[in-house]
């Protein structure tokens, strides 16, 4: 009888070399996604000056990024089912670096909006494709390593933002973003062969110690979407929305809260999101160990509760130091909720589940900042920021309410493994 872990599945066996290489290559793509997106974000002020856009015009142009991402996310799930998640990841890994070089070539707000629509489409496509491939790889590895991929995205974003800040005073957006394009295409060219070779279903079955467990990454395994499955996917998407809402709110309104309400120095206020992002990265790097020890339900419930307490501190603290500590605690709490939600949606419904959960999550990041602004006008900014704590608590409650689905998701693979081992013994 095989050993069981807290999730009820068979204990992990030694990882095959092909799976290890595939995990490294996929991690690189997650880091590249964060790196490219952060490189674009730090050059937004320069692009605004270049195009002569007003604040409202720039806001409409930036909305094109979100629109392109949301539209493409719903389509990418179908592409992954038809052509494979890894193949779609590679294609988007070419389009994303190419698209980031286009904004500095524009000279009007209208053209900028059209270019950003393309950039958002590439960004949304690679997000769904990568996460779909990661869900299948998690199942093949039989270890909850999903947070490590999202940690790579966070690290890539931190590196991209840091380098962008260093070169912003010396380079115009055109050579900077063109350099990111060259780096992105080079990384894709080096990494893509590993994904396409070791990610082939037949190849992975040769390496995998458990070929009966689940279709290999990139395989076109059908997923039945009955009414119960669709409902659960929407529930996990709602959990992702609650997390992304908080991330968007802190990124856009955290610095203003510190500077306006707590009279912090602008440099200190700017560090609010850095504290949040750094803590989130640390939380994701330790996410696999946390999931192996606590399981998915306890991780979501504990993370949501932690984020709720942290955000109440960050929003209502009377001093800058306590508010920064609150943002950091919030980052730790939210770190692993989004990866777990996307993984569980993908485990239930394949690329379509990943697309649905990702779209809802990205929608939370999209609607969060405007809602915070409206509530700040109606009440106050600190009161508006407490809505992040409310949604974090909501994610915890939903995670607890769906705790029974965790056993269901893993019971059938475990039963297949046990039947296979009994057959081999006979």
| Domain 223-426, CATH among 1.10.3470.10, 1.20.1250.20, 3.20.20.70, 1.20.210.10 | 1.20.1250.20
Query: For the chain, how far is it from start to end, CA to CA, in angstroms?
Result: 13
Task: Provide the 8-state DSSP code for 42.
Answer: T
Q: What region does 52 belong to: left with phi over 0, alpha with psi -120 to 50, or beta?
A: left
- DSSP β-bridge partners for residue 148: none
Residue 200's pLDDT is what? 54
Task: Give pLDDT < 70 ranges for the chain.
Answer: 1-15, 55, 198-226, 267, 270, 406-426
Q: Measure the CA–CA gap between 250 and 252, rounded to whole angstroms.
A: 6
> Per the structure block, which two tokens stand in for 321?
């130091």
Q: What region does 295 belong to: left with phi over 0, alpha with psi -120 to 50, or beta?
A: left
Q: Measure the CA–CA gap between 112 and 417, rounded to whole angstroms.
A: 53
pTM as predicted: 0.76
Q: How far is CA 77 from the centre of its chain?
A: 16
Task: Assign 2 to helix, strand or coil.
Answer: coil
Residue 8's pLDDT is what? 44
Dihedral (CA of 66, 132, 306, 37) sign: negative
Residue 102's pLDDT is what? 94
Q: Measure the CA–CA gap between 180 and 380, rounded to whole angstroms.
A: 40
Dmax over Cα atoms in the chain, in whole Å?
75
The CATH H-level (homologous superfamily) assignment of domain 1-220 is MFS general substrate transporter like domains (1.20.1250.20)
CATH 1.20.1250.20 domain range(s) in the chain? 1-220, 223-426
Each residue's pLDDT tens digit, 226-236: 678 888 889 99
Residue 309: burial class (beta carbons within 10 Å; 0-12, 13-18, 19+)? middle
Residue 215's pLDDT is what? 47
Among 64, 47, 197, 195, residue whose Cα is nearest residue 122: 64
What are the φ and ψ backbone dihedral angles of 225, each rounded to 5 degrees? -105, 75
Task: Assign 210 to helix, strand or coil.
Answer: coil
């Amino acid at each position: 009888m095989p050993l069981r872990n807290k999730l009820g599945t068979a204990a992990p066996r030694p990882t095959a070399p092909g799976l290890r290489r595939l995990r490294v290559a996929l991690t690189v793509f997650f880091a590249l996604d964060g790196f490219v997106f952060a490189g674009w974000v730090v050059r937004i002020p320069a692009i605004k000056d270049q195009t002569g856009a007003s604040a409202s015009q720039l806001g409409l142009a930036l909305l094109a990024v979100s629109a392109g991402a949301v539209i493409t996310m719903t389509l990418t799930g179908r592409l992954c089912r038809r052509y494979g998640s890894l193949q779609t990841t590679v294609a988007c890994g070419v389009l994303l670096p190419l698209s980031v070089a286009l904004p500095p070539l524009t000279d009007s707000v209208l053209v900028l909006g059209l270019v950003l629509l393309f950039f958002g489409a590439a960004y949304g496509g690679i997000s769904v494709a990568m996460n779909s491939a990661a869900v299948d790889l998690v199942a093949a590895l039989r270890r909850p390593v999903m947070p490590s991929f999202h940690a790579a995205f966070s690290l890539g974003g931190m590196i991209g933002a840091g380098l962008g800040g260093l070169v912003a005073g010396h380079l115009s957006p055109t050579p900077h973003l063109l350099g990111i394009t060259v780096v992105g295409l080079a990384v894709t060219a080096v990494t893509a062969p590993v994904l396409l070779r070791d990610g082939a279903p037949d190849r992975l079955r040769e390496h995998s110690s458990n070929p009966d467990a689940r279709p290999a990454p990139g395989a076109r395994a059908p997923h039945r979407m009955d009414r119960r499955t669709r409902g659960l996917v929407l529930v996990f998407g709602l959990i992702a929305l609650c997390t992304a809402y908080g991330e968007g709110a802190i990124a856009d309104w955290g610095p203003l809260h510190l500077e306006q309400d707590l009279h912090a120095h602008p440099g200190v206020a700017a560090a609010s999101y850095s504290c949040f992002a750094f803590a989130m990265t640390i939380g994701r790097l330790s996410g696999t160990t946390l999931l192996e020890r606590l399981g998915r339900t306890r991780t979501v419930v504990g993370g949501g509760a932690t984020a709720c307490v942290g955000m109440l501190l960050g929003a209502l603290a009377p001093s800058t130091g306590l508010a920064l500590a609150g943002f950091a605690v919030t980052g730790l709490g939210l770190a692993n909720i989004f990866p777990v939600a996307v993984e569980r949606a993908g485990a239930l419904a394949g690329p379509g589940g990943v697309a649905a959960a990702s779209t809802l999550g990205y929608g939370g990041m999209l609607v969060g900042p405007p809602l915070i602004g409206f509530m700040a006008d109606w009440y106050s900014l600190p009161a508006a920021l407490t809505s992040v704590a409310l949604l974090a608590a909501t994610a915890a409650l939903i995670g607890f309410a769906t705790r029974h689905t965790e056993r269901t998701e893993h019971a059938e693979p475990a039963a297949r493994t046990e039947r296979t081992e009994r057959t081999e013994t006979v």
